[in-house]
Each structure stands twice: as C-alpha cells, then as structure tokens.
Structure 1
Amino acid sequence: MIGWALALLLAGPPTLDGPPRAATSAAEPGFSLDQALAAMREGHPLREFAAARADSAAATRVAARLWENPVVNVDYFLGVRSTSYDRAGALVAGVAQWLPVTAAPRARGQVASHEERAVARDNQGLLRALELEVERAMLGLAGALRAAEIHHDALRDLQESERIVGARVAGGVAPKYDATRIGLAVAAAEAAFRGAEADVSEARGQLDVAVGPLAERLRGQPRVDVFAPAEVPPLATLQARMLEGRPDLAAASERLAAARASVRVARREVFPGIGLRVAAGFGQGPGQVDVGAGLTVPLPILSRGQGFIDRARAEARAADSVARALVVAAEQRLRAAHEVARRRNETSQRHVAMSRDAAEALLHQAQANYQNGRLSAFELADASLSVREMHLRDLELALAARLAELEVRRVVEVGGVE
C-alpha cells in the first residue's frame, strides 16, 4: 500500500478514480536498510573526516617517539695578534646529539598511542551514529508514506460517503445540508492528504541527508515494517554491553590513561637528557690537527618542573572526573531509555490489538445506517474520520516504539557522539 502512495506523490493530487486501498506498485522495487547503509558508508563525507583524523593521530604517535635531530657545528678562528694559529686560520667542525636519557620520547609516544586509540573509538562511534541516523530516517520515511496512505484511504471513504449522500439528496430523502456537510469533510480530508504528501517529501530529504551524496541510488520505497515488534533486551544485558564497548566510554578511558602518562612525561622532562659532541679541528698551530669530545649537562635549578607536573596531575584528575561522569550518565540514560522503550512497545501492541477490525466495521455500519436513515451526514463523516484517526494512532504508537528501541541502541552503542 505504501508503494502506490509514493507513486501517487509523483503523479499528482488524488482523484475519484485513484488507486484502490489494496493496490501495490511494482514499478520501483524499493531499497533495504543494508542498501542504504552501504550507500552511506561508501559516500558520506564524514567517513573521509574519520579517516583523516585516524591518520593524523597515527602520525602524531610516530612524531612523539622521535629524538631530536643531530646538530652540525662549524667554527672558524683567525688570529689577529700574537697568535699561534696557522696563517690560514683554524677550523673546528663537530656533530652534537641530544640524548634523552630519561626516555621522555618514549613516554610522549605512550601518550600519543592512548590518544590514537581514543580517536579510533571516536571514529567507531561516529560511524555507528551515522548508521543509526540512516535507520531513523528510513523509519521516518516509511511512517510518512504509511500516513499518506491512511489519509488517502480516508479521502476515498469520504468520497464514497459523498456519493451515497448525493444519491439520497437527489432522491429527496435527505436535506441539502447533508451534501454541504459531507463536502466540507471531503475538502478537509483532501487538505490533510496534501499535507501528508509534504511530510513524505520532508522525510525523504532527511533520509538523503543521512545517507549523503549517494542517496540518489535509493529508488522507490524503503522496505521497512514499521509495525514490527520492537525487541528490547533485558536492562542488565544492555548495561554490560554498553560498559564493555561503548565508543565514547572507551575513548574517555584512553584519554584518562593519556593524562596519567602525561604526568610521567612532565617528570621526565625536568631532566630532559644530556648533549654529546664530537669535533675535529685543523690549524690551531702550523700543521696541527685536533680531535675532541664535549658534554652538555642541563642543571634543573631554575626550572624544576614547577607548575608543569602539577598541571599534568590536575589534567589527569579532570580526565578521571569526565570518565566517571560519562559512566554514571550512561547508566542513568540507559535505564530511562529502556523503560520508555518497554512502555511504548506495550502501548503500541495493546492499541493495535484493541483496534483490530474495529475501524472497518465502524465505517461499514455508519454507511449502512445512513442509507437506512438512522444516522446523519455528520455522523457518517465522523465515522470516516474516526477510522483515519485510529489508523494514524496505530502508526504513531508503532513508530514511537521503534524509535524508542532505536534510542536504546543509540545509548548502548553510541553515547555522546553527535
């Protein structure tokens, strides 16, 4: 039924000889969630963003572990008075290398490694968030198409009622007021249907945004059953899964480890190392050639890490607070989302069970009773609108249940990634 609704949007406004209630369209085979996700993964620009961030973090890790470059020193001396230098002057050349004896580069590499893993977790959460957004948009589009179908059915019912009223008015057994009243109801139903058409266009636009540049591959209607029961696992199972693998919690843990490793870096950089120099000289005296070595030792007297070590410790405490706050908030949100999903699923199933077959019976009874003169045109229109509202309520509750279950998965699998 959703298929002809999409075809109707492409064809134009409804007419009295529009598609029947059970009609389907095979012109467009539609698309599945897997096809939509594949298009997103292949073409969404944020995939390139995630890859670039991963490359940047990997490059930072490599750079953090490197020693400083050696330095070449060349000195020239020319005696100007009372000198023993060669007449051409003296030349001294040497190579100096800074030796980080406290292993500060390795400590910085450990910090960068933790950050690299945190970025990888961030990227994992970003991808999962994009996937869930595609699924949410597909549910929205399927729901909008189903709502358009319901509005179209209500319009067809009212048009049929208008035909019945017109026949009775023409036969002189009903007042002209009935024709006027049912005509107003038909006009209102057509306006509601046109509004539902606009909702379908809006929902398709949201799906296109979620999928990205390759959304044009997705033709036809989404193959999604909005009335499928929303399965919600037990809270304890979801909580264990969330604490074990949610990307933002794992990223916060890695950043806490990086902050603690930064304290070690700050301590080791108080005495960063020693400088070693090897040199050779020519011309200190006529025909003289010299070799030598030098050592540079920094004295941590003026700068002994004042402030830097304390700052690193404070940042570690801050990272620990963030990690603990994320866990507490995640558990609280999960409990709330799980309860919402459970209640919405129960409400949807109960309402569908209560309203099953009642809507169609109500409409047929109203039409029969009006033809027998036991109902007015107002009651006849009310029956069609009541059927429409019942179907829309079924759809609203079913979508709410599916979206609530999707929110549970978002809390468990994504967290704070936007």
Structure 2
Amino acid sequence: MQSRHFVLGAAVLFAQLFPFSIQAADQQSAPFTIGEPARSVDINSAPLTLEQAISMTLSASPQLRSAAQSVAIAEGARVQAGVRPNPELSLLREGMSSRTNRTDTYQLSQPIELGGKRSARIKLADQDQALARGDVNVTASELRADVTAAYLEALTAQEHVALARESLSLAGKATNAAGRRVAAGKISPLEQTRSSVAEAGARLELSQAVADAALARRRLSAFWGSIQAEERSLVTPEINLAAIPALRDLQSRLDASPQMQRARMQIAREEAGVNLAKADRVPDVTLTLGKKKDFQTTVSQTVVGLAIPLPLFNRNQGNLFSALRRVDKAKTDAEIEYLNATQALADAHQRASVAQEQIESMRKDILPGAQSAFDAAVTGFELGKFGFIDVLDAQRTLFQSRAQYLSALSARYRSFAELERYIAVDINAGNYSTDRNAK
C-alpha cells in the first residue's frame, strides 16, 4: 500500500514539470494543491467542507440521537423518583353465612417513607440525568474526532484518485513518446516496453484508487445516516502548520474534557446510590385508619393501626456493600480514563510533532532536491544524454517525496482530530479550549 502511494504521490507535479517530448519545455500547468477535487466528482456542485461534515454528523447522527434519547429516559425516571407511595384501600369481612353474623372492616393504609428515601431517590435520578447528558457530550466529542478522521481519509483517497489519473495520463504520453523515438531509431525498443508496462501499472493503480475512494466516502457519509457514498468534492481544512499546543498545556486542560466530566458524574451517581442504600436501611411505617362494623350488635368502631417492620435479618447490608464498592470502581475507572486520555494526548502530540518535522524537512530539503534531480534527468533525456530508465528513477524519487509529504500532512490532520477527541483545539491559532461552543 505504501509503495503504491509513493508512486502516486507526485504524479501531478511530474505531469506539470515533464509533459515529455510531445509538449514544449516551457509549457506549465496550474500548481498542485491538496484539496483539488478528483475528476470523478462533480466539481460543479458546492464542495463539502470539514465543518459542514461535522455539523451534519452532530445534527443527524443516529448515535448522537440514541444518546439524546437516553436523556429523555432519565427525565422520566426523575419524575417517577419524586412520586410518593400510593395509599391502599382494603375491606375485611368476617362471617359469610348471614348478615347478622357478619363483621365488615374498611381500612385505608398509607405507607410513610422514613430515612430520606424520597430525597435520596431524587438525587440519584438527578445524577442519572447528568450522566445521560455527559454521555451525549462524550458521544459528540467522539463523533467529532471520528468524522474528522473519516473526512481526512476520504480527502486523501480523493487526492490519490486525482494523482492516479494524472499518472495514467503521463504514462500514456510517455508510451507514445517512446514509440516515436523507437521508430526514429533513437532508443531501444526495450524502453517502449518499459513505458507500456508502466502505463498498465498506472491503470491498475487508478482502478484501486477509485475503489478506495468510494469506500472512504461511504464510511464518511455513514456518520450522518446516509447509505450512499458522498459525491461532493472535499477540500483541505485550513490548519496553521506552525501551531502545535504544548503537551503540558493540553494535559492541564484534560480535567475539563467530556470524558473526565463524565467519569466524575459516574462517581457522583454511585455516591448517590450509597445514600439511597443507607436510606433504605431505615424501615418504613404503614399508618392504617378504618372503621369496623358489627352487624350483630350494630356497633361501629374506629380502627387505627401502625405497622413497623423489624430489621432483624434484612438491613439492606448487601445493597449498601455493593453501592460502596461501585463508588470504588467508579473512582478506579476515572483513574483509568485519565491515564488513557493522557496517553492518547501524548501519542497524538508526538505524531503531530513528528509530522511537523517531516513537513519542514521535505519543504526545505527533500522536495527541492528531488525536483532538481528530476529536472536534470528530464533535460538530459531531451538532449539524449540519459536513458528512459534514468527518467523513471528520478520520477520514482519525486513521486515518493510527494507521497511522503501528503502522508505527513494527513498524519498532522489526524493528530489534531485525536486531540479534538478530548480537548477543543484551535488549530489555526494554536490555542485550546474545552468549550465546544467556542468554535
């Protein structure tokens, strides 16, 4: 895969610099820029930007909609947590043979919760609501990073298609030029064979690039619930390549990330569960008020009762123990989340730094050197001093350099996408923010 990308990486530049002997040496094409639409895409339609892709995902993603529905479920549970126990109406009848030997007792019983159970339930339900909202924030953060990575993958695939088309066009021109020179007796027929093989390989590369681009576009459109591949052209997001926030600054803001906020909400939720388990240890009482009528004596009596469970065996000790251990687990999970997020930030920052070094090195040394060697090979071939194999070698070196440059840019974009998973990074100014609405 990497060698294929190396071959495709500089085809556009090669086509611009070396139109081969069938074109004038001073004829130039428009400069290549990352983000140009592939020819298979309808360039008349408005392009799809990264910001638009993120907005479409956040507004239509089934994953985010599912997380939002969990909030509505938690709201219903919050309403239910605040209701009080229903009273109970009962009828007791003694003696069924005749009316004169019958006694009827009408009772109204009302359970009374003690120990703060209702307030504990409400607090637990409130924490469940907050936890559901935290899940929404985490899901949105994850989707933002995932759709960014998918967009950049589709963008890279789009560029490979464009490069493969230019490579195929260039290979065809090279084959025609080699055929004319063979007919003129200036080069060996072996050179024409080599150029024909190169053209066949370029055609296969184009077919594979088109298939890869279709898969990448389909994965991208799936984020907003579409089953059709995205057909609009993609454009490179504007990123200030000189702006890399310091790792220490990023890690200092990690506590405000959606993931850590959600972890703290989980701890608060489990602590509310402990309070509810403690409240459940206090027995509830049932107050009974009624009337008893004896039909034989025609005497009616008022009935008053109070029922209190005796906590001899069940003191909710098992549930309390489990609730305390869930708090410990939530705290441990929060530590794991922090460690994982810290490591992820460090990895993304390292990849961004390495990619930045590669980009700067390629801009200063590698790309100019490869272009200079290629220009020399082209001039020598036109003057008959070099063979076609020398031009192919220079072309391969230039292609590899351009492909590496494109790969470094893609790695730089992806590293910022990973940073966005935890911290909202201003990639144009080098600043960072935990406020997702600040963008």
1:332 and 2:343 correspond: yes
Contact 1:271 1:298 in 2 (8 A): no
For 1:58-69, what aligned pairs fall within 5 Å after superposition?
58-69=75-86
Among all aligned residue pairs of Structure 1 and Structure 2, give the percentage whose two residues are the same amino acid. Answer: 21
Contact 1:337 1:404 in 2 (8 A): yes
Q: Which amino acid aligns with 2:84?
A: W
1:77 alignment partner, one of 94, 98, 114: 94
Distance 1:86 1:117 in 2: 60
The alpha carbon displacement at 1:258 in A equals 2.1
- Bigger shift: residues 285-294 or 130-139: 285-294
2:63 alignment partner, one of 19, 39, 46: 46
Q: Structure 1 residues 225 and 4, CA, compared in 2 at 3 Å: closer, same or farther?
A: closer
Contact 1:137 1:206 in 2 (8 A): yes
Q: Which amino acid aligns with 1:262?
A: G
The alpha carbon displacement at 1:353 in A equals 3.1
Q: Which amino acid aligns with 1:207?
A: L
- Bigger shift: residues 118-127 or 42-51: 42-51
Contact 1:232 1:405 in 2 (8 A): no
Task: Give the corresponding residue for 1:15.
Answer: none
Task: Give the corresponding residue for 2:209.
Answer: 196
1:235 and 2:247 correspond: yes
1:126 alignment partner, one of 139, 152, 155: 139
1:280 and 2:291 correspond: yes
Q: Structure 1 residues 374 and 290, CA, compared in 2 at 3 Å: closer, same or farther?
A: same
For 1:295-374, what aligned pairs fall within 5 Å after superposition?
295-374=306-385
RMSD over aligned Cα, in angstroms? 2.8
Aligned length: 394
Contact 1:279 1:292 in 2 (8 A): yes
Q: Which amino acid aligns with 2:234?
A: P
Q: Structure 1 residues 159 and 380, CA, compared in 2 at 3 Å: closer, same or farther?
A: farther
Q: Which amino acid aligns with 2:308?
A: V
Residue by residue over 1:234-287, the C-alpha shift from the partner in whole angstroms, topping out at 9 and shown as x without a partner, is: 22332232212x222222212212222222222221223211011023335543
2:53 alignment partner, one of 25, 36, 42: 36
- Bigger shift: residues 121-130 or 312-321: 312-321
Distance 1:49 1:4 in 2: 34
**Secondary structure of the structure 2 residue equivalent to 1:172:** coil
Which TM-score applies when normalising by structure 1?
0.85
Distance 2:82 2:308 in 1: 22
1:254 alignment partner, one of 250, 259, 265: 265
The alpha carbon displacement at 1:325 in A equals 2.4
Q: Structure 1 residues 4 and 313, CA, compared in 2 at 3 Å: closer, same or farther?
A: closer
Distance 2:157 2:271 in 1: 51
Q: Which amino acid aligns with 1:163?
A: N
Q: Structure 1 residues 231 and 285, CA, compared in 2 at 3 Å: closer, same or farther?
A: farther
Distance 2:96 2:232 in 1: 91
Distance 2:320 2:239 in 1: 59
Task: Give the corresponding residue for 1:221.
Answer: 233
2:152 alignment partner, one of 127, 139, 151: 139
1:8 and 2:59 correspond: no
Contact 2:39 2:162 in 1 (8 A): no
Task: Give the corresponding residue for 2:11.
Answer: none
Contact 1:125 1:247 in 2 (8 A): yes
Which TM-score applies when normalising by structure 2?
0.81
Task: Give the corresponding residue for 1:18.
Answer: none
Task: Give the corresponding residue for 2:274.
Answer: 263
Distance 2:203 2:103 in 1: 101
Q: Structure 1 residues 316 and 213, CA, compared in 2 at 3 Å: closer, same or farther?
A: same
Residue by residue over 1:47-77, the C-alpha shift from the partner in whole angstroms, topping out at 9 and shown as x without a partner, is: 3311221111122222223322111111122
The alpha carbon displacement at 1:299 in A equals 1.2
The alpha carbon displacement at 1:377 in A equals 1.8
The alpha carbon displacement at 1:36 in A equals 1.9
Distance 2:321 2:340 in 1: 29
Contact 1:278 1:292 in 2 (8 A): yes
The alpha carbon displacement at 1:326 in A equals 1.9
Q: Which amino acid aligns with 1:206?
A: R
Residue by residue over 1:186-222, the C-alpha shift from the partner in whole angstroms, topping out at 9 and shown as x without a partner, is: 2222222222222211211111122322877x54201
Segments of 5+ residues of structure 1 without an aligned counterpart are: 12-25
The alpha carbon displacement at 1:226 in A equals 7.8
Residue by residue over 1:127-171, the C-alpha shift from the partner in whole angstroms, topping out at 9 and shown as x without a partner, is: 221222222111111111112222333333333333332222111
Contact 2:141 2:258 in 1 (8 A): no
Task: Give the corresponding residue for 1:406.
Answer: 417
**Secondary structure of the structure 2 residue equivalent to 1:213:** coil
The alpha carbon displacement at 1:100 in A equals 0.8
**Secondary structure of the structure 1 residue equivalent to 2:316:** coil
Distance 1:79 1:155 in 2: 101
Distance 1:219 1:158 in 2: 27
Distance 2:44 2:96 in 1: 97
Q: Structure 1 residues 169 and 4, CA, compared in 2 at 3 Å: closer, same or farther?
A: farther
Distance 1:226 1:214 in 2: 28
Distance 1:149 1:355 in 2: 23
Distance 1:4 1:411 in 2: 27
**Secondary structure of the structure 2 residue equivalent to 1:9:** coil
1:158 and 2:171 correspond: yes
The alpha carbon displacement at 1:10 in A equals 6.3
Contact 1:363 1:387 in 2 (8 A): yes
Task: Give the corresponding residue for 2:16.
Answer: none
